[in-house]
């Protein structure tokens, strides 16, 4: 197939000096093991932070880059976004005339969010990416495919800048001129049983799914998936008539390796659809965003799901779900979420309309950007939290190779070989209740030495091959007694 698009490169601008308010917010999160509050406890249900009142662009699509920025973008067909540009990308000035105020080329449709600076900057995006997909290449470039209308076969690349930017760096959306793909022959190698119960899980029913963490103890050979929520039978037709049917509460888990496959069913506290499922550094699953009634599509859902759920795969049946702190902001159709290196979860978007509408509707277009702060970031875990994590000899590691990491704990007695685990996490490209390419691997620790002052040296073993961990960037995290460190980027490669 031949794809015809345009080539576009954006230059980074120099980061502005961080304001006092931003320093207050981020010092509370990042200093000494990601403490969040200086005077009070988060409790066990976490808390919410409002990061930006206006991100400018609906986060229909979201992806964390290895430069500690987050790419967020919307459809260009939505018209004017909340981020007005001084100039069009062709260099002509956008004025206050009526024509320019309604011209979508005078508005950004993609932004890059700098986590440390808590700022966004526009990225050039000319073609419609509505309801499309994405994945990271091994060098950290975001490959983004598809879109709407005559751009359904488009291929785009996004080269992220480093946090804070710089005048000599280039980054942004680059669209291929002509690309030829030789598709491999498709072949079904295994079929699985239908998940029990009525209703559907895929769009427009929009349940969500996740692959549970892979583990070195079984040589990463056991692969188990989990599917939660969705819409009941007839929800789409009913929504078109103004009736919003209750969604599904059921979740199914199934091991897809081996020869025996059976869905093990359990139930969330409430029905849910349009949600995201993210693997936290602890290996637990966060279920966030969504609605309780209706289905996906414009104005097809009601009763926003404001309370995240925490799912612990290792607890006994009936005790695995926990309801977390509620937010006041509805995140329904065209919302997204992703895990950040400091352990928080970035949440944005929400727009059940074909254009940006802010009043006189049940659920207005949502441009506020939030972070959910899990309980493990509370200051009361300071003594247990691994700090100052470093990866020796660079961050590029060959498959099956050993590599050394160093970190510290405040008190030596707060750490032991039995309490520490190491994980490598590939962040997802999230959109439409689906986290593409998300995976976590629990790595083998071949040796760990703890010194008298609390410093720790550990020898870890990289995954054995790209079949287990596709080459590219991962977040390496040390978890001590359920309390994670701030993650550092590591790259698994054939050339390490």
Does residue 186 belong to any structural domain of this protein?
A: no
3-class DSSP state of 236:
helix
Q: Are residues 465 and 367 in the same domain?
A: no
Q: Are residues 248 and 335 in the same domain?
A: yes
Instruction: Indicate the helix (H) or strand (E) that contains 442.
Output: strand 439-442
**What's the DSSP call for residue 486?**
P
Does residue 95 belong to any structural domain of this protein?
A: yes
Q: How many CA atoms lie within 13 A of 371 on its CB side?
A: 23
d(CA 116, CA 68): 8
Q: How many domains does the chain have?
A: 3
- C-alpha distance from residue 480 to each of 378, 407, 421, 439 (Å): 14, 11, 7, 20
| Nearest CA-CA partner of 343 in 486, 490, 489 | 486
Calculate the CA dihedral of residues 114, 120, 123, 126 and round it to 10 degrees: 140
Does residue 290 belong to any structural domain of this protein?
A: yes
Instruction: Indicate the helix (H) or strand (E) that contains 98.
Output: helix 98-101
d(CA 400, CA 378): 35
237 class by beta-carbon count within 10 Å (0-12 exposed, 13-18 middle, 19+ buried): exposed
Does residue 183 belong to any structural domain of this protein?
A: no
Q: How many CA atoms lie within 13 A of 33 on its CB side?
A: 23
Does residue 44 belong to any structural domain of this protein?
A: no
pLDDT value of residue 182? 58
Which of 175, 195, 225 is the C-terminal boundary of a domain?
175
Which of 377, 392, 417 is the C-terminal boundary of a domain?
377
362 class by beta-carbon count within 10 Å (0-12 exposed, 13-18 middle, 19+ buried): exposed
Does residue 191 belong to any structural domain of this protein?
A: no
Question: Taking the model in full, what pTM does it have?
Answer: 0.88
Q: Are residues 139 and 120 in the same domain?
A: yes
Q: Are residues 24 and 121 in the same domain?
A: yes
Q: Are residues 305 and 373 in the same domain?
A: yes
Q: Are residues 213 and 347 in the same domain?
A: yes
Question: Cα(first)–Cα(last) distance of the chain, in Å?
Answer: 34
In sequence order, which residues have a C-beta less than 8 Å from that of residue 442 and are 6 or more positions away? 213, 214, 215, 216, 217, 283, 421, 422, 423
pLDDT value of residue 176? 59
Contact (CB, 8 A) for 83 and 131: no
d(CA 201, CA 141): 30
Does residue 293 belong to any structural domain of this protein?
A: yes
- C-alpha distance from residue 284 to each of 220, 384, 482 (Å): 18, 18, 10
Q: Are residues 322 and 437 in the same domain?
A: no
Boundaries of domain holding 401: 380-493
Q: Are residues 328 and 424 in the same domain?
A: no
pLDDT value of residue 162? 67
Count of other CB atoms within 10 angstroms of residue 447 = 11
- C-alpha distance from residue 269 to each of 38, 46, 346 (Å): 32, 18, 23
pLDDT value of residue 4? 27
Q: Are residues 316 and 425 in the same domain?
A: no
- Residue 371 has which token pair? 């972070």
pLDDT value of residue 156? 85
Does residue 200 belong to any structural domain of this protein?
A: no
Which of 175, 197, 226 is the C-terminal boundary of a domain?
175
Q: Are residues 431 and 479 in the same domain?
A: yes
| Nearest CA-CA partner of 36 in 281, 372, 377 | 377
d(CA 325, CA 214): 28
Q: Are residues 226 and 360 in the same domain?
A: yes
d(CA 56, CA 106): 13
The per-type count for the chain, helices as H runs and strands as E runs, is: 3, 36
d(CA 438, CA 265): 22
In sequence order, which residues have a C-beta less than 8 Å from that of residue 326 and are 6 or more positions away? 306, 307
pLDDT value of residue 166? 45
**pLDDT tens per residue across all 496 residues of the chain:** 222 222 222 233 333 333 333 333 333 444 333 333 433 568 899 999 999 999 999 999 999 999 999 999 998 888 899 999 999 888 899 999 999 999 999 999 999 999 999 999 998 887 778 788 888 889 998 888 888 877 777 888 888 776 655 444 456 776 654 474 556 667 777 889 999 998 999 999 999 999 999 999 999 999 999 999 999 999 999 999 999 999 999 999 999 999 999 999 999 999 999 999 999 999 999 999 999 999 999 999 999 999 999 999 999 999 999 999 999 999 999 999 999 999 999 999 999 999 999 999 999 999 999 999 999 999 999 999 999 999 987 778 999 999 999 999 987 777 877 889 999 999 999 999 999 999 999 999 999 998 888 899 999 999 999 999 999 999 999 999 999 999 999 999 987 6
User: If you write DSSP's letter for every residue of 292-352 in order, what string do you get?
Assistant: EEE-SSTT-EEEE--S-EEE-TTSPTTS-EEE-PPPSS---TTEEEEE-TTS-EEEEE---
d(CA 329, CA 305): 10
Residues in the chain, total: 496
Q: Are residues 314 and 299 in the same domain?
A: yes
């Amino acid at each position: 197939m031949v794809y015809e698009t345009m080539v576009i490169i954006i230059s980074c601008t120099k980061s502005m000096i961080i304001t006092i308010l931003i320093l207050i917010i981020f010092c509370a999160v990042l200093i000494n093991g990601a403490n969040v509050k200086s005077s009070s406890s988060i409790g066990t249900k976490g808390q919410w932070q409002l990061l930006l009142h206006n991100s400018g662009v609906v986060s229909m699509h979201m992806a964390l880059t290895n430069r500690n920025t987050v790419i967020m973008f919307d459809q260009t067909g939505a018209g004017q976004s909340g981020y007005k540009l001084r100039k069009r990308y062709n260099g002509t000035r956008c004025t206050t005339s009526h024509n320019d105020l309604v011209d979508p080329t005078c508005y950004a449709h993609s932004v890059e969010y700098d986590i440390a600076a808590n700022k966004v900057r526009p990225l050039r995006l000319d073609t419609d990416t509505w309801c499309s997909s994405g994945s990271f290449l091994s060098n950290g470039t975001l490959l983004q495919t598809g879109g709407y209308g005559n751009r359904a076969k488009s291929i785009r690349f996004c080269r992220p800048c480093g946090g804070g930017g710089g005048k000599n760096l280039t980054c942004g959306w680059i669209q291929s001129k002509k690309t030829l793909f030789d598709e491999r022959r498709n072949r079904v190698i295994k079929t699985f049983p239908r998940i029990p119960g009525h209703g559907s899980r895929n769009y427009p029913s929009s349940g969500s799914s996740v692959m549970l963490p892979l583990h070195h103890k079984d040589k990463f050979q056991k692969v188990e998936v989990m599917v939660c929520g969705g819409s009941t039978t007839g929800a789409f037709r009913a929504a078109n008539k103004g009736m919003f049917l209750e969604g599904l509460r059921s979740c199914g888990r199934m091991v897809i390796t081996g020869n025996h496959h059976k869905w093990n069913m359990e139930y969330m506290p409430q029905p849910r659809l349009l949600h995201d499922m993210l693997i936290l550094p602890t290996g637990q699953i966060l279920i966030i965003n969504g609605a309780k009634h209706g289905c996906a599509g414009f104005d097809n859902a009601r009763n926003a799901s404001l309370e995240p759920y925490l799912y612990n795969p290792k607890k006994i049946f009936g005790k695995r779900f926990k309801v977390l702190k509620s937010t006041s902001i509805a995140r329904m159709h065209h919302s997204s979420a992703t895990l950040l290196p400091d352990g928080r979860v970035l949440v944005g978007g929400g727009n059940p309309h074909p254009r940006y509408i802010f009043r006189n509707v049940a659920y207005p277009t949502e441009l506020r950007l939030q972070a959910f702060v899990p309980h493990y970031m509370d200051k009361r875990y300071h003594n247990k939290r691994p700090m100052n994590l470093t990866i020796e000899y660079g961050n590029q590691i060959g498959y099956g190779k050993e590599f050394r990491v160093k970190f510290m704990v405040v008190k030596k007695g707060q750490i032991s070989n039995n309490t520490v685990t190491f994980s490598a996490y590939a962040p997802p490209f999230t959109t439409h209740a689906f986290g593409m390419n998300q995976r976590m691997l629990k790595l083998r620790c071949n040796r760990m030495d703890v010194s008298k002052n609390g410093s720790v040296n550990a020898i870890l073993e990289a995954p054995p091959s790209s079949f287990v961990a596709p080459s590219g960037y991962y977040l390496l995290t040390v978890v001590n007694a359920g309390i994670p460190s701030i993650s550092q980027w590591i790259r698994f490669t054939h050339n390490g």
